Structure 1
Amino acid sequence: MHESVAESSLVSKIHHASTKQQNGVHESQHEKVVSVTGDGIIQSPDFPNTYPRNTVIVWRLVAVTESSRIQLTFDPRFGLEDAENSICKYDYVEVEEPVGGIVLGRWCGSEMVPGPQVSKGNQILIRFVSDEYFPSDPGFCIHYSLLQQRQSEPEAPAVMPAWMQGVDALSEAVAGFSTMEEVMKYLEPDRWQVDMEDLYKPTWQVVGKSFFHQKKSRGVVDLNLLREEVRLYSCTPRNFSVSLREELKRTDAIFWPSCLLVKRCGGNCACCSHNCYDCQCSPTKVAKKYHEVLMLKHRAGGRGLQKTLTDVPLEHHEECSCVCKNDSD
């Protein structure tokens, strides 16, 4: 409803606009190409004051050499129009990889300052969009700098320490591990064993003028078990009773038993990826099984019931998984 017409026409016009060069910045009608030779800043118009309405600006940052990578760091002063239903629809800034068009992140509001971003190649795009309603302040300011890759390893991607990742990216990465040990190795690969020991060391707490010793024990809470319970009961094959007439779409017959138990996927998918807006518990492995039942059918001419034992095929879900089904699907 708030989407800008200028944004939708950006891609089609961006390569045809006339360009000019000034102080290392090539400007076109919709895109500014910045030659990155050192440190610099990209900021919303009028930062740190209220940015203008109905604005679309794209900066293409290009490092001087193919082996260079570009790091982006957001100024703590950050504020754009708030999200709607946790989605940045109206005013936002986003960072994109030019190759493949992969969006590394889109941000708005003022509650959280985006974390550092590092390009996978020697280019990176920054896009700022504002609509005609509710401009905010102070906008945003992004500091960019060069990360030099060693010439002997030109293909190696820039590795970002786990602590430098944004909250969303770090949360999603941690959620993918099965054990506490894997989590600690990911967060601190050089000292994970020390951190594991620190987690379970006894702690002292103060209550008024008295002291008591509270000992943490591995036997009190097993975090690995807690995670396993969530995995087992969130989205799994479970027993459902189905009506044979409805399941087989047979309105001409009567079955006994009229209902049978089958395995079907069930459970919620609350722990899907944060960028998935429609997550469903879906089957990933399906088997057809045959069940012997009594089938009754009226004989032609109304001469009683025909009774036969017959095998009916029913679909069973053997494996389930939370699957993202966005509108684009």
Structure 2
Amino acid sequence: MILPLVFLLASLLQQYGTEAESSHVSKFHLPSVKEQNGVQDSTQEKVLTVSGEGMVHSPDFPHTYPRNIVLVWRLVAAGNMRIQLRFDERFGLEDPEDGICKYDFVEIEDPIQKTVLGRWCGSQSTPVNHKSEGSQIIIRFVSDEYFPSEPGFCIHYSLLPVSKSEPELPAVLPPSLQGMEELSEAVAELTTVEEVMKYLEPERWQLDIEELYKPTWHGLGKSFMHNKKARGVDLNLLREDVRLYSCTPRNYSVSLREELKRTDVVFWPSCLLVKRCGGNCACCSHRCFDCQCLPTRVAKKYHEVLLLKHRSGGRGLLRSITDVPLEHHEECSCECKDDQD
């Protein structure tokens, strides 16, 4: 009698364990990231030609969206048309922190005016409709690694004709669409990170600076963790260090006999320190075939040393303090050498 009861109890426990394991897996199974609205590579912008009505939405809308993705849509219409955006009433992303959408959010940007029209997250009321100033508009969706919400968002778009009183705006190629070489050349000419941010986003560069120097706990770099810094790296200081130590006057020891081409005497000290241009020119223009660190300002300076010289007739050594002129480089710059030179 006892043995059948034991077998029955074991069978029930095994069935319960299987169901519990299945429930656990189902609860924590992440939804697969599917291609949505033509967007598959989250690191690139998807350009959508707007010829009628359509929509863009978070993956799996109106269900929980995936974690850790960045999706960008650039809606492009004909030059004589404007784009009208309307949010679906079903809206819900991760909640803001201190009233700021830092983690999961959707934002609308006008690429012609280079302004962010708005950023939304949490369970805010449905945002108002928006009309593009030009024939393009950008929608950007970001989610971090934690706390995805539902239903996400859905934005419907449609076309509106330009009114007769509204002037046509010229098409401007934003920095985000420039080629890497052109963008690199433009940014290299800027002297501070503030100037870089102003160039990229002139209307919201201060906000971008704050976000840039505000590390999130899931995105901290090794330098931050190891050094326990209170804030991010000072990019201006990094650039200044490079400028000071790349192609600059620096100390070199030179042999006086070789430098002065005097093999008939002996100097003490036999070597002296001089300033000479040194360092590489890695920051030269990519269009430069051969970039060299050359002096742009040179000065001659005199140094007192002990000079030893044989007396005429072999009557011992002549010892005297003498001045020796040495060339010092006071300023340097990287100069490009053309292919034909």
**What band does the TM-score fall into relative to the shorter chain?**
0.3 to 0.5
Structure with a larger share of its residues in strand:
1
TM-score normalized by the length of structure 2: 0.44
User: Which of 1 and 2 has greater Rg?
Assistant: 2
TM-score normalized by the length of structure 1: 0.45
Structure with a larger share of its residues in helix:
2
